[in-house]
Amino acid sequence: MHPAVIAQAAASSAVPDSPPPIYVSGFGPKSAELAGRIGDGYITTAPDTELIGVPESQSP
């Protein structure tokens, strides 16, 4: 395919109304702080109620 055709197809591609959410994955206070500062969410495999601010009475 000719490069001009590829460029035209890319330029006419649908652009979302808003950017997609950015989730930060990690563990520990540094990644939680980063998620809070620049991300839209935090993903971890080792939940820590202190890092996410969940009271002890509501923790799983």
The tens digit of pLDDT for each residue in 6-49 reads 667 666 667 778 889 999 998 888 888 888 899 998 888 877 77
**Does the pLDDT of residue 2 top 50, yes or no?**
yes
Angle at 42 between CA 13 and CA 31, to 5 degrees: 115
This prediction's pTM: 0.54
Supply the DSSP symbol for 34: H
**Residue count of the chain:** 60
**What is the distance between the alpha carbons of residues 43 and 37, in angstroms, rounded to a whole number?**
14
Q: Check if the beta carbon of residue 31 is closer than 8 Å to that of residue 42.
A: yes
Instruction: Write down the pLDDT at residue 5.
Output: 65
